[in-house]
Structure 1
Amino acid sequence: MKQIRTGTAFCMAIVMVLVMAACSNNTGQAENAATAGADFRVVKSEKGEIKIPTNPTKVIGLSVVYPEFLQALGVTPIAVQNYHTDLPTYLREPLKDTLKMGIAETPNFEMILAAEPDLILAPVWWSDKDYDQLSGIAPTVLLPQRDDWRDELKDIGEVLGKKEIAEKVIQDLAAQEAEAKRKLDDLVGNETVLYMMVMPNSLLLYGDQIDRGKFIHTTLGLETIPNLPKDPSLSISLENLPEYNPDHLIIQLNNEDNAEIKQTYKDMLDSPLWKNMNAVKKNQVYLMSGKDWFNVGMSPLANRYAIDSVLQAFEGNSK
């Protein structure tokens, strides 16, 4: 009997070992499966490491330029901040179903909450003060302030797992810019170009030290007037305009819906000073949309659109 009990105990021990081994193996497989199927990942932000959905589908980008970065990466945001009532022409169709929240010093938390985002992206300079409220709505990634929009695009691409797409967007745009620069050199040569914004009761001249002016004079290689001060921008009155007398004028109205700006523009067109400008007499004045050019020099989509607009204007003038 003792031998039987000993044999039975030995068999039971073997069975327990096998069961425990099987359980351990199943547990390991379950853990591996859970890890492989995790619905979140960890990314870096200005607030440290943040857990975000692996594949976010309802993304909000706070700042007027972030929606353009998202769209360039193939991600249509569910809500956007918009400076003008109408979105730029190139965004109207892709963002036709996107919630427009307007823009203010403080985000519209009620509208953001109603949109039910699963990820919020924002530049730290814009949204640091609102971080606690935003992160209470959805995982919020604050990204660093950048001097070059290309670095901003790469930051967002890194968060969304679209770094290679971001690089391709940059490369494709660089090729488009180089081709446009070559064409404009053939069309314009060394003739001077002035880029001007019509403001309420004043005119703003852009040099190559600011995003928009840099796009015109550096990216596209259009020759600036020799006496333009080395400032990012220069505000002048209509009476001072003849001092800056280029061969070509690129003009925008800062806001086409603003009555004061429209009146300033009309007064300029009616002025003898304006009619005596070289560019006016040569019929080399090109009016661009202020809304469509709002993010020029700060976004790949805006730059693409502006390149096409400039080429169309200068090529049309040469015919």
Structure 2
Amino acid sequence: MRNSFLFITSLLLILSLVACSNDEEESSDSNEEENERTLEHASGEVTIPENPDHILAPYLEDSLLALGEKPAAQWSIGEDVIDYLQPQLEDVPTIEWDLPLEETLNQDPDLIIFSSPSSIQNGSYEDYESIAPTYVYEDEVSMDWRKQLTQMGEILNKQDEAQDVLADFDDKVEETKATIDESIGDESVAFLWTMGEEFYIFESTRYGAEVLYNEVGLTQPEFVEELEQEEQWNPISMEKLGELDADHVFVIAEENEPGLEILDESSVWQSIPAVENDQVYTMNDPSHWTIDGVLAHEMTLDAVKDALAE
């Protein structure tokens, strides 16, 4: 009788432990499912893991870093990387811009993010999805840096952080506006990028110029306002540059860029108002001028504010 009692007691204890273990597993599975989020994106739906920490997001590193996340590997074309982000990314390995499948697999990511459907070059969406959950931005979201950052906050479950970053940026815009209003008022400003021997004018929808003209409120010279559609972001001739009526000009170029020497030796360039009045400012880090991103635009605002306040 005593042995039977012990057997029954032991059996009940074992069943109780099994039940508790099952409950804990179900609770753990339930919590994991609750923390995962299923998002719609350009290629359908994807379930994002909780707290991904090995992320590949080529050419979206600005938004990642703004939210306190480092990528597992950074965008590159050969040895070229996003220069202005290197203080934060100098210890991060590179991966080719088009995410070759073998390189991607070797990085062992737990989340892959593409900037657009067209950026998937080396395989199908399903190829990448078989490696890790893969999110693909809609073009219209990716191309708007504010929307891009907000969506990155959604992807990483950092919505509040994204809103805080944008609020801080808006504060910087107001500070920049106050400084520039005091230093140059409504004098006109133009932005000229030279690469090689070619020249490009930033119109009011181009990169940081959009923030500077439309948010900070810098005055556009008539030359910029009247650029024809076919002239926007196409190389502009030196003869045409002779019509640039800006009071201030920012020349954006790497040191020793051939275009700088061309400008120095051009009598046409020397005759425009900004040059005659010694109000030309050379910016030798083009990388944050020719990309959209909150960190890039912060650097551009600081560069313009410092130059015009001197």
Check the 8 A contact 2:223/2:245 in 1, yes or no: no
Structure-2 separation of matches of 1:27 and 1:137: 30
> Would you say 1:191 and 2:187 are equivalent positions?
yes
Shift of 1:243: 1.0
Check the 8 A contact 2:212/2:301 in 1, yes or no: no
Match for residue 169 of structure 1? 165
The within-5 A match list for 1:279-290 is: 279-288=274-283, 289-290=285-286
Check the 8 A contact 1:249/1:279 in 2, yes or no: yes
Cα RMSD for the two superposed structures: 3.0
Structure-2 separation of matches of 1:88 and 1:36: 41
The within-5 A match list for 1:97-116 is: 97-103=91-97, 106-116=98-108
The within-5 A match list for 1:204-283 is: 204-228=200-224, 229-230=226-227, 231=229, 232-233=232-233, 235-253=235-253, 256=254, 262-283=257-278
Match for residue 118 of structure 1? 110
Gap change, CA 1:82 and 1:215, over 3 Å in 2: farther
Structure-1 separation of matches of 2:201 and 2:223: 12
Shift of 1:27: 3.5
Structure-2 separation of matches of 1:121 and 1:234: 30
Structure-2 separation of matches of 1:72 and 1:41: 22
Greater shift in the superposed pair: 67-76 or 226-235: 226-235
Shift of 1:152: 1.1
The within-5 A match list for 1:22-61 is: 27-37=22-32, 41-44=36-39, 45-61=41-57
SS in 1 for 2:105: helix
Shift of 1:37: 5.0
Quick one: which amino acid aligns to residue 100 of structure 2? N
Structure-2 separation of matches of 1:226 and 1:248: 13
Check the 8 A contact 1:118/1:139 in 2, yes or no: yes
The within-5 A match list for 1:127-138 is: 127-128=119-120, 130=123, 131-138=125-132
Check the 8 A contact 1:61/1:120 in 2, yes or no: yes
Q: Residues 260-283 of structure 1, C-alpha deviation per residue, up to 9 Å, x if partnerless?
A: xx2233112111112222111211
Shift of 1:315: 1.4
Gap change, CA 1:128 and 1:278, over 3 Å in 2: same
Quick one: which amino acid aligns to residue 50 of structure 2? T
For structure 2, the 5+ residue unaligned runs are 1-9
Higher-Rg structure is 1
For structure 1, the 5+ residue unaligned runs are 1-14
Shift of 1:19: 8.9
Query: TM-score of the superposition, structure 1-length normalised?
Result: 0.81
Structure-1 separation of matches of 2:198 and 2:21: 75
Match for residue 5 of structure 1? none
What fraction of aligned residue pairs are identical, expressed as a percent? 24
Shift of 1:128: 4.5
Structure-2 separation of matches of 1:17 and 1:279: 90
Check the 8 A contact 1:203/1:235 in 2, yes or no: yes
* 1:303 corresponds to which of 290, 293, 297: 297
| Length, aligned pairs only | 294
> Would you say 1:152 and 2:148 are equivalent positions?
yes
SS in 2 for 1:235: coil
Gap change, CA 1:99 and 1:75, over 3 Å in 2: same
Quick one: which amino acid aligns to residue 105 of structure 2? L
Quick one: which amino acid aligns to residue 269 of structure 1? D
* 1:291 corresponds to which of 265, 274, 287: 287
Structure-2 separation of matches of 1:40 and 1:126: 30
Structure-1 separation of matches of 2:71 and 2:65: 7
Match for residue 71 of structure 1? 65
Quick one: which amino acid aligns to residue 281 of structure 2? Y
Shift of 1:206: 1.8
SS in 2 for 1:169: helix
